[in-house]
């Protein structure tokens, strides 16, 4: 896939994902550019085990947390204060240690649950948008998201997170 096509097809997903995390347009633009730069330089490491959009969002997430760590050292930036609060799981992200554990559990989810959950929670995409990205129906996207959420909650209960 030519990188220009990859960029055009995934820019809005990555931008939305990052904007949801940092709630700042200029930071989002900076991190989106950094994400695609890193993706371009590391494209040979993409193994195809997940959707390219999931891989890009993971790079974006890493760029965001790297940015947060850097700015926390500089001015006390709270890296998890703007993560969405949809109910229990999302609220648990407020505590850094808990957030790390939840991310580990989320990473363990099998596809397509992991991708749908990330697109819904972090990128704040509508179910219709998720369905269009994955090539399924909106009902499928809704059911898959709720199943992913249930699986993640079960994993959290099992690990006492």
pLDDT computed for residue 86 by the predictor: 41
Per-10-residue mean pLDDT for the chain, 161 residues long? 82 88 86 90 80 87 82 48 41 59 84 88 84 89 89 82 60
Q: Total structural domains in the chain? A: 2
pLDDT computed for residue 76 by the predictor: 42
Query: Are 47 and 92 part of one and the same domain?
Result: no
pLDDT computed for residue 88 by the predictor: 42
Domain that holds residue 149: 84-161
Q: Look up the CATH number of the domain holding residue 123.
A: 1.10.10.10
Query: Are 69 and 93 part of one and the same domain?
Result: no
Closest CA to 10 of 47, 67, 51: 51
Domain-ending residue, one of 58, 82, 106? 82
Domain-ending residue, one of 53, 82, 111? 82
Query: Are 70 and 92 part of one and the same domain?
Result: no
Query: Are 150 and 104 part of one and the same domain?
Result: yes
pTM, entire model: 0.49
Count of C-beta atoms within a 10 Å radius of residue 27? 16
């Amino acid at each position: 896939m030519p990188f220009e096509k990859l960029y055009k097809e995934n820019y809005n997903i990555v931008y939305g994902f990052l904007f949801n995390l940092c709630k700042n347009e200029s930071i989002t633009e900076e991190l989106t550019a950094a994400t695609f730069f890193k993706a371009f330089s590391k494209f040979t490491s993409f193994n195809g085990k997940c959707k390219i959009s999931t891989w890009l969002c993971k790079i974006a997430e890493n760029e965001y947390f790297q940015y947060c760590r850097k700015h926390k050292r500089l001015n006390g930036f709270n890296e998890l204060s703007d993560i969405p609060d949809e109910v229990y799981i999302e609220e648990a992200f407020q505590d850094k240690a808990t957030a790390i554990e939840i991310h580990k559990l989320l990473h363990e989810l099998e596809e397509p649950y992991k991708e749908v959950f990330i697109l819904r929670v972090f990128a704040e995409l509508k179910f219709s948008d998720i369905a269009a990205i994955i090539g399924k129906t909106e009902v499928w996207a809704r059911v898959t998201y709720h199943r992913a959420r249930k699986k993640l909650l079960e994993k959290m209960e099992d690990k006492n997170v």
